[in-house]
Chain A
Amino acid sequence: MATPSAVARSTPRPRPVRTRRNTELALVLAAVLIAVLGYIEVGVNIDGSVPSGAAGYGAALGVLALLAHGVIRRRAPYADPLLLPIAILLNGVGLVVIYRLDRATPRSEAAPTQLLWSTLGVALFIGVVLLLRDHKRLQRYAYSGALVALVLLVLPVLFPPVYGSRIWITVGPLSFQPGEFAKILLAVFFAAYLAVHRDALALTGRRIWGVQLPVGRVLGPVLLIWAAFVGVLVLETDLGTSLLFFGLFVVMLYVATARSGWIAIGLLLAAVGAAGVGRLSPHVHSRVTDWLDPLGSIEAGRGANQIAQSLFAFAWGGLLGTGLGNGHSILIGFAAKSDFILATIGEELGLTGLIALFLLYALLVSRGFRTGIALTDPFGRLLAIGLAAIVGIQVFVVAGGVLDLIPLTGMTLPFIAQGGSSVVTNWIIVALLVRMSDVARRPAPRPEEG
């Protein structure tokens, strides 16, 4: 990381680690600029003029970005310099696309609310970076956190379902998706449990068909907790989140124990679960049918379903896209701003924009994993890896769904899709990664100032 000139001094003291805060500042400003240009493009393409809100929007995003950067500069000076700019850029682009879709649905504006949630998200980010001095303290709350997560997950059962899924808590005009927060609590719990029990879990039990199975005694409790979570989610028909929890569980078990047997068990459980749910739930069954034959409903004379409409949007975008504001992704119908927001990006920014977006996510994920690998305490390592895995798996599940790579399961694209709980949760994830990366990159004996 350090340049040769920085280590030119002759003394054998450890190489000074550059904080890279100025790099971060430059990238953050670039991210804000890109988002503002996108906002202007929407106005120019739709109205032929720069939208009046451009300055305000740019100022709002800029202030949030600079506040977050300032706090990192003060309290986490060694943090990974890419995490915040990526988060700002993703959130900014998300706001632009939601604003763009608002223009097509003037009666239900979502961008102002989303900006409010983003502000709350950045506030929580600042709060976490300021207040959480040492991530190891989270270990103490692992079990109570898991309990809270379970309660959060069960609560929506008491509320009416929205679009076939009981994952919402609706209070007046506010709706809230508790499953989003639960995933952080779950990652903390897994990290804490596995950090303590990884040696026991790695003990080999019986060997079946050439696969070393773990000992049942330690497998039992983990399986029980996991089953409780997934069971609740299946009850709520929230497939996306159950898939995410399941993927997170398998990844963290493997990373902690290095036992590929866990992966075999995981795949087996997934296959059994998927087959069972697919057979029992007509909701899931239709998703699988649509996945296998997205254009089938057209041939059957029932018109294009949402997946078909989503594919139409992507296809129309082609290599370079129509430009923001020039697409017709609103034809997708409901959830265009949330689950299907990627289709708008694909249509209006094209394959080029989409791949740039995927690169941002890949970069964010790999920076998270890298933080985990660089840390020394098992809990921190597992937590950072778990949080990064959440982002990676979630992107895959939602983008794969709308691209017809896997069956569609309702989920939000991190930082971009409309949804307050989602954007707030993702800011907390990035805050935790910033916090931990500061620890990971901090030189062991602090270099003297100057």
Chain B
Amino acid sequence: MPRRGRAGSSAGGPQGLPGISTTGRRAGTFCVLLIVALAAQATRVQVFQAKELDHNPANQRLTVERYSQPRGNILVGHDTVTGSVPTGGRYDYRRTYTDGPLYAAVTGYSSQTYGNTQLEGTEDDVLSGTDPRLAGWALWDAIARKQNPGGDVYTTIDKAAQQAATKGLGSQKGAVAAIEPATGRILALASTPGYDPGSFAGTSAADQQAWDKLQADTNQPMLNRALRQIYPPGSTFKVVTAGAALAAGTVTDIDAPTGAPYPYVLPGTTTPLVNDTPVCNRPNLSLDTAMIYSCNSVLGYLGVRTGLDGMLSTARDFGFNDAKLDIPFRAARSNFDEKMDESQLALSSIGQFDTAATPLVMAMVAAGVANNGTVMYPQLVDRLTRSDGTAVQVMEPRTYKQALSPAVAAQVQRLMTDVVEKGTGTNAKIRGATVGGKTGTAQQGVDNTGTPYAWFISWARPAGSGEVPPVAVAVVVADSDATDVTGGGLAAPIARSVMQAVLGG
């Protein structure tokens, strides 16, 4: 401030104290400093604390922004299975599902009240348009705060297989996972009883009621049994044991006598390992016969002969004990104990004791065998695109593990085809196709009084084809009203219809 001499000098302060020119300037500086303090505080809030405040759970802005435009869609093949409708409320658009229950295990839900799960959750950035890869000019868009239209998520799901799986499970409690063995593409992912994710997508009282009802249901309809629930795999695990035994050299010829005793007493105990069928009650059966009739005594013996290390290594290669199996949403960890005595190892080798698996991992077992021993990483997303259809990301098949050598895999394939041709899996036979499978009937509940779990894992290829089978599938029926609950009786027909759907298409 330039001092105007005339003004400053005429009014000296009382008793030689500074005049108003001086005190006024000081007071003015003080007032301006007050405003500078405001600017400093604004910088603190808007720059340094901004991120934390933006993500405060009580701050509705992120949610409002998310629903301010139509959400991108999830597709099965060329069919859109989701949609968005204007609400007229604070959240502009609400999620809809064209066939909610059919694809609930795939899509998950996107609810304005309850958040996002599964594909709706893991691919949320693309669907809601916030993924920077969607932007044409990322930097400028960030400055202009341009919201990109939501991108689309194309799944690997095969509509016919998904429908066959859901229809096959019907009103039973259970799940299906189907994989394309050569690529790891997930063809079907079904869980029953299911739910309609569209029933609670909004914020109304009806949405809340639907949600509360689903949460209170003791049948847990919102549990994704295909990959979030583990079940004892029972005899289907014998495929892993047979593979491990062949890989370790415990068995070299599947048709030769194995040297397995009968009865086989669990090591360190006096308890014999019992079989379900008298055909098994002989010593020295071949591995092939033991698989065809699902002989516990033989496979338990072979598991112990192979040893914990060999069993554990093969189980891991098929996907067991992997706590981070993301397809992209995470599967529950399938378990094969890492410390056991021999009796426990014998039981674990026939899919009991602490052994437990998701249907997804059992499908990986069937798929790995079908793909000549190479397990492919299971993936559910084929590609992500911008709203104009241009791709942002395209799926590339990835090897999960080489679980078996091609030679061993070929032997296990024969074991599995024999099961379907001559053994417990005849319900899975398909005219014009080669099918390999394995049944499982796992006891559960206190003293095995609960309804057993009926399992079936299998793969199929057109007869005479030398190609890798186009489909592998795992089915579990967890709680059925049927009187005769066996893997071959309940689960195999479902697996067959899923495989037929893929082969037919």
Contact = CB atoms under 8 A, between A and B. Distances in A.
A346 B20 contact: no
A273 interface: no
B64 interface: yes
B61 A403 contact: no
Given A315-B53, A351-B47, A378 B17 contact: no
A79 B6 CA distance: 18
Given A351-B43, A444-B6, A373 B54 contact: no
A314 interface: yes
B15 to A, nearest CB: 6
Contact of B38 (A295, A316, A370, A399): A399
Interface stretch (B29-37, B94-102, B285-293): B29-37
Interface string B19-46: 1111111111011101111110111011
A198 B14 contact: yes
A405 B38 contact: yes
Contacts of A185: none
Interface string A372-406: 11111010011001001100110110011001110
B11 A370 contact: no
B14 A315 contact: no
Given A255-B20, A258-B23, A365-B31, A400 B13 contact: no
Interface stretch (A24-32, A81-89, A221-229, A323-331): A323-331
Chain B CB within 10 A, most for which of A369, A376, A399? A369
B-side binding surface: helix, strand, loop or mixed? helix
B278 interface: no
A365 B28 CA distance: 7
A277 interface: no
Interface in A89-129: none
B8 interface: yes
B46 A389 contact: no
Nearest to B50: A315
A375 B10 CA distance: 10
B46 A257 contact: no
Given A320-B143, A323-B145, A373 B41 contact: no
Nearest to A327: B61
Interface string A304-334: 1000100110111111101100101001000
B54 A316 contact: yes
Contact of B41 (A303, A308, A404): A404
Contacts of B46: 314-315, 317-319, 346, 350-351, 354
A254 B23 contact: yes
A255 B35 contact: no
A127 B61 CA distance: 46
Contacts of A362: 32, 35-36
Contacts of A373: 1, 3-4, 7-8, 20-21, 24-25, 28
A215 to B, nearest CB: 13
A370 B32 CA distance: 12
A165 interface: no
Nearest to A330: B90
Given A316-B61, A350-B46, A370-B1, A378 B20 contact: yes
B59 interface: yes
Interface string B39-83: 101110111011111101111110010000000000000000000
Contacts of B51: 315
Given A326-B145, A373-B7, A396-B35, A312 B59 contact: yes
Given A312-B61, A315-B54, A376 B14 contact: no
B42 A346 contact: yes
A315 B27 contact: no
Interface residues of A, number: 65
Interface in A228-287: 251, 254-259
B2 interface: yes
Chain A CB within 10 A, most for which of B30, B52, B58? B58
Interface string B450-462: 0000000000000
Contacts of B35: 358, 361-362, 365, 392, 395-396
A258 B53 contact: no
Contacts of A7: none
Contact of B22 (A202, A258, A369): A258
Given A255-B24, A373-B24, A382-B20, A392 B31 contact: yes
A199 interface: yes
Q: Chain B contact residues (Cβ within 8 angstroms of A): what range? A: 35 or more
B47 A396 contact: no
Nearest to B10: A376
B41 A385 contact: no
Contacts of B17: 202, 257-259
A358 B39 contact: yes
A318 B47 contact: yes
Contacts of B34: 392-393, 395-396, 400
Contact of B11 (A331, A355, A376): A376
Chain B CB within 10 A, most for which of A255, A311, A354, A365? A255
A254 B26 CA distance: 10
B38 A388 contact: no
A198 B13 CA distance: 9
Nearest to A302: B58
A366 interface: yes
Given A314-B46, A317-B46, A381-B20, A376 B60 contact: no
Contacts of B58: 295, 298, 303-304, 308, 312
Contacts of A366: 1, 28, 31-32
Contacts of A322: 145
Contact of B28 (A317, A318, A369): A369
B42 A403 contact: yes
B115 interface: no
B135 to A, nearest CB: 16
Contacts of A369: 24-25, 27-28, 31
Interface in B469-485: none
A1 interface: yes
A389 B27 contact: yes
B471 to A, nearest CB: 49
Interface string B132-153: 0000000000010100000000
B259 interface: no
B56 A376 contact: no
Given A198-B14, A255-B24, A303-B58, A328 B41 contact: no
A440 interface: yes
Given A314-B42, A328-B64, A369-B27, A202 B15 contact: yes
A323 B144 CA distance: 8
A255 B37 contact: no
A59 B26 CA distance: 41
Given A369-B24, A393-B34, 4 more contacts: A257-B14, A315-B46, A373-B25, A400-B34
23 contacts: A202-B17, A256-B20, A258-B13, A258-B22, A295-B58, A312-B53, A312-B54, A315-B54, A316-B59, A318-B47, A354-B42, A361-B35, A362-B35, A365-B28, A373-B1, A373-B8, A373-B24, A373-B25, A376-B6, A385-B24, A385-B28, A392-B34, A400-B37
